[in-house]
Amino acid sequence: MINFKTRICEIFDIEYPILLGGMAWVGTAKLAAAVSNAGGLGIIGAGAMDGEMLRREIERYRTMSDKNFGVNIILLSPYADELVEVVMEEKVPVVSFGAGNPTKYIPKLKEKGIKVISVVSSDSLARLVERSGADVIVAEGMESGGHIGDVTTVVLVRKIVDTVKIPVVAAGGIVDGRGFLAMLALGAEGVQMGTRFVASLECEAHENYKKKILKASIRDTVVTGLKLGHPARVIRNKLTRKVLELEEFGNTEEAEKFLIGTLRKAFEGDVDNGSVMAGQSSGLIEDLKSVKEIMEDIVREAHDTLTELSHKFLGR
């Protein structure tokens, strides 16, 4: 089997350069532990937590895995400062920041020996966080689930690998070995996946959420919150029809009210009135698998695809 080791494996001390994307509500300790135990980097999504909730989730992680892991903090969170204190006290090995500019937190995390990942959707932010000492950049394209920017993964990754020297991980639209290999060809040194891992046996989201992903086609997602300044990709449902209508007619306050607490609703099974955050890649996912199977299938398929390509084009 081809060894796909990159600098990402060295930095995080992991076997495969595959990261679990931080996911508010959905990225629990159980899912993170499954990814780390299968050789990737599990990341606990602290997006909807306060400090004490995060501390409990870290403790839960440690009962399930002794492997390296990370915590994802959304910079929009009112608890961001508190969460950064908790990760330092708990000596969490890796912190990933989403939805904003994390530069003010980087120096103190680095002082404690904590590795920092910054999730970006532009080359200008990539440049800035590299200068501030980030260890890894996740270039997240607009086909991703959750909060997004406006550039596609292929264009963003290609641009950012030529902009920075630190390793770049590609996110958005990747579910299998072909996607993984394509990102390596662009110059990324690993991938981060969200949607694929939601549709796993270990994910603690309600089965209705997983079914929505399995049933979706590649055109079944929409972007809510564009007019509210925080666009998010979700699977179309009763809620999105209402919110998009309110946004279209400029009722932004009411649209905002409708969205509060909706990811939790979906997580708990109300996939009509909840925000079923998921990427366009939902349309590529057809089966519910264990995390271990997902990871092993990616590596096997990447191996087979690369072998086939080299037969076809290099004659060996």
Nearest to ligand FMN of 42, 172 (CB atom): 172
CB of 119 to ligand FMN, least distance (A): 5
Residues 224, 215: Cα–Cα separation, whole Å: 20
Q: Is residue 70 close enough to count as binding ligand FMN by CB under 6 A?
A: no
Residue where the block lists tokens 């959750």: 146
Euclidean distance between the first and the last CA atom of the chain, given in angstroms as a whole number: 16
Q: Is residue 194 close enough to count as binding ligand FMN by CB under 6 A?
A: yes
Amino acid at 192: Q
Query: Strand order in 136-140's β-sheet?
Result: 18-20, 190-193, 168-171, 136-140, 115-120, 94-98, 69-74, 42-45
Nearest to ligand FMN of 115, 196 (CB atom): 196
Nearest C-alpha neighbor of 135 from the set 295, 4, 13: 13
Q: Is residue 167 close enough to count as binding ligand FMN by CB under 6 A?
A: no
Interface residue with ligand FMN among 195, 224, 237, 262 (CB under 6 A) is 195
Amino acid at 97: F
Answer for the pair 291, 31: CB distance below 8 angstroms, yes or no.
Answer: yes
Chain residues 297-316 in contact with ligand FMN, contact rule CB under 6 A: none
Q: Is residue 72 close enough to count as binding ligand FMN by CB under 6 A?
A: yes
| β-bridge mates for residue 9, sequence order | none
Span interacting with ligand FMN, options 7-15, 23-31, 85-93, 298-306, rule CB under 6 A: 23-31
Nearest to ligand FMN of 249, 272 (CB atom): 272
Span interacting with ligand FMN, options 10-18, 136-144, 160-168, 289-297, rule CB under 6 A: 136-144
User: Would you give the distance in Å from CA 41 to the centre of its chain?
Assistant: 11
Nearest to ligand FMN of 23, 114 (CB atom): 23
Nearest to ligand FMN of 39, 146 (CB atom): 146
**Tokens encoding 230:** 């925080």
Q: Is residue 57 close enough to count as binding ligand FMN by CB under 6 A?
A: no
Answer for the pair 73, 84: CB distance below 8 angstroms, yes or no.
Answer: yes
Chain residues 213-252 in contact with ligand FMN, contact rule CB under 6 A: none
Interface residue with ligand FMN among 140, 176, 202, 220 (CB under 6 A) is 140
Q: Is residue 109 close enough to count as binding ligand FMN by CB under 6 A?
A: no
Q: Is residue 74 close enough to count as binding ligand FMN by CB under 6 A?
A: yes
Interface residue with ligand FMN among 277, 291, 294, 299 (CB under 6 A) is 277
Q: Is residue 170 close enough to count as binding ligand FMN by CB under 6 A?
A: no
Q: Is residue 80 close enough to count as binding ligand FMN by CB under 6 A?
A: no
Residue where the block lists tokens 């099974």: 269
Residue where the block lists tokens 């931080």: 22
Interface residue with ligand FMN among 17, 22, 70, 102 (CB under 6 A) is 22
CA distances from 245 to 83, 235, 251, 278 (A): 35, 16, 9, 20
CB of 138 to ligand FMN, least distance (A): 6
Q: Is 201 exposed, middle or buried (0-12, 13-18, 19+ CB in 10 A)?
A: middle
| Alpha-carbon dihedral sign for residues 96, 97, 101, 104 | negative
Phi-psi region of 164 (alpha: psi -120 to 50; beta: other; left: phi over 0): beta
Q: Is residue 118 close enough to count as binding ligand FMN by CB under 6 A?
A: no
Q: Given the rule CB under 6 A, which residues bind ligand FMN?
A: 21-24, 26, 45, 47, 72, 74, 98, 119, 140, 143-146, 171-174, 192-196, 198, 277-279, 281
